[in-house]
Amino acid sequence: MGGRRFLAVVGLLILTVPLAAAVALRVARQPEAPRKPGTIVRTAPAPPPVDMAERFAVPVLMYHRIADLDERESRSPLMRDLTVSPADFESQVRYLAENGFTFLLARDVEQAVQEGHSLPRKAVAITMDDGYKDNFAQAFPILRKYGAVATIFLVSATVNTAGHLSWDDCLLMRRDRVGYGSHTVHHYELPSLTVAEMDYELRESKRAIESKVFDTVTAVAYPSGRYNRTVTERAEAAGYLAGWKKGGGPVQPGADMYLLPRVRVNGGESLKDFQRIVWSGMNLMRDRADAERHRSRLARRPQDIQGA
Ligand SMILES: [Zn+2]
């Protein structure tokens, strides 16, 4: 672009941006239509206040595919394990919504651990790995229906390929608060790579996803949950705030930022098993509080211990 044309474009922007803002303000300030006398104005009831916990315990759920298996797929134990049916997924998300769980993005949990601030006591984060097309076609409508949010860990080289999300799908979902993380470029197991290859997988996926979804990628989910000391160090050096592994129960304050735990939801899991997972955080907080009460009772009455 020539210097003169560049200046003209900048000038045009300087003129149009305040104009657009003024128009938006005017639209917002337009008076409401006059109401008939005696009309009762109902305002939506305020949502109940969310009970916050400084010492939270949040289960971060890890999904892969949300789909019905065809006959060939259903013969594969691996596929059955990776795939939750849309009907099961809907009953799980409905259960969370109806039981008052707050849906968090992975990023919300990362920030709370890093900055040491509180999170809702009854909360859960949904994550989906690998970026399958069904995350958009099957899972997304269910998430929207129940006002749930989720984080998708994308394998950047497979986006826009058969069976996977397109960048357009990602942008569309982003408008409804779907967040994104990296699941590397090629889904190689990171500990098996040289440091240079590892750096490429971590940095290039972050760069590619950020340039396509216009959002900062704060975390990497290690492919197949495999990591070692070099992997976590290189993830930090690549600019990630956090790394997600596999297993380890709910996320609690003080967790290692590069070894944040997730709980896998497998295909064919009963709603009862699912409930056990999602209440694990609340149960942990309750047990911790019980233990503390017990300890402080003992500390206050030493004579009782002797007499016991
Ligand atoms: Zn994966």
Question: What confidence tens digit (pLDDT) does each residue in 123-146 have?
Answer: 999 999 999 999 999 999 999 999
The amino acid at 44: A
Token pair for residue 208? Answer: 């590619």
Residues 155, 167: Cα–Cα separation, whole Å: 12
| 239 within a domain of the structure (yes/no) | yes
Tell me, in angstroms, the distance from the centre of ligand 1 to residue 181's CA.
12
| 37 within a domain of the structure (yes/no) | no
| 167 within a domain of the structure (yes/no) | yes
What are the residues whose beta carbons fall under 8 Å from the beta carbon of 112, sequence distance 6 or more? 56, 118, 119, 253
CB 157, CB 185: distance < 8 Å: yes
Is the pLDDT assigned to residue 39 strictly greater than 60? no
Tell me, in angstroms, the distance from the centre of ligand 1 to residue 63's CA.
9
Is the pLDDT assigned to residue 47 strictly greater than 90? no
Q: Which of 7-16, 61-70, 102-111 has the lowest mean pLDDT?
A: 7-16
Number of Cβ atoms within 10 Å of the Cβ of 51 = 12
Token pair for residue 233? Answer: 């160090």
Is the pLDDT assigned to residue 175 strictly greater than 70? yes
Please give the pLDDT value at position 206: 98
| 45 within a domain of the structure (yes/no) | no
Nearest to 97 by CA among 36, 146, 164: 146
Please give the pLDDT value at position 45: 73
Instruction: Grade residue 22 by pLDDT with cuts at 50, 70 and 90.
Output: very low
The pTM of the whole model exceeds 0.75: yes
Tell me, in angstroms, the distance from the centre of ligand 1 to residue 113's CA.
24
Instruction: Grade residue 308 by pLDDT with cuts at 50, 70 and 90.
Output: very low
Read off the pLDDT of residues 206-236 as tens digits, 9 standing for 90 and up.
999 999 999 999 999 999 999 999 999 999 9
Q: Which of 60-69, 143-152, 290-299 has the lowest mean pLDDT?
A: 290-299
Residues 302, 287: Cα–Cα separation, whole Å: 23
| 296 within a domain of the structure (yes/no) | no
- If one compares 298 and 195, the residue with the highest pLDDT of the two is 195
For tokens 């149960």, name the residue: 283
Tell me, in angstroms, the distance from the centre of ligand 1 to residue 60's CA.
15
Please give the pLDDT value at position 2: 47
Tell me, in angstroms, the distance from the centre of ligand 1 to residue 154's CA.
9
Tell me, in angstroms, the distance from the centre of ligand 1 to residue 302's CA.
53
Read off the pLDDT of residues 56-95 as tens digits, 9 standing for 90 and up.
999 999 999 999 999 999 999 999 999 999 999 999 999 9
Tell me, in angstroms, the distance from the centre of ligand 1 to residue 221's CA.
8
Specify whether the backbone of 285 is left (phi greater than 0), alpha (psi in -120 to 50) or beta: alpha
Q: What domain range is 190 assigned to? A: 52-270
Q: What is the mean pLDDT of residues 41-56?
A: 80
Longest dimension (CA), the chain: 91
- If one compares 39 and 248, the residue with the highest pLDDT of the two is 248
Residues 233, 229: Cα–Cα separation, whole Å: 6
| 265 within a domain of the structure (yes/no) | yes
- If one compares 80 and 13, the residue with the highest pLDDT of the two is 80
Tell me, in angstroms, the distance from the centre of ligand 1 to residue 292's CA.
39
Please give the pLDDT value at position 214: 93
Please give the pLDDT value at position 109: 98
Residues 126, 84: Cα–Cα separation, whole Å: 13
Measured CA distances, 192 to 155, 157, 198, 228, 231 (Å): 17, 19, 9, 10, 10
| 84 within a domain of the structure (yes/no) | yes
Q: What is the mean pLDDT of residues 47-57?
A: 89
Tell me, in angstroms, the distance from the centre of ligand 1 to residue 254's CA.
26
Is the pLDDT assigned to residue 288 strictly greater than 70? yes
Domain count, the chain: 1
Tell me, in angstroms, the distance from the centre of ligand 1 to residue 64's CA.
7
| 131 within a domain of the structure (yes/no) | yes
Instruction: Grade residue 297 by pLDDT with cuts at 50, 70 and 90.
Output: confident
Average pLDDT, the chain: 88
For residue 219, what is the domain's CATH number?
3.20.20.370
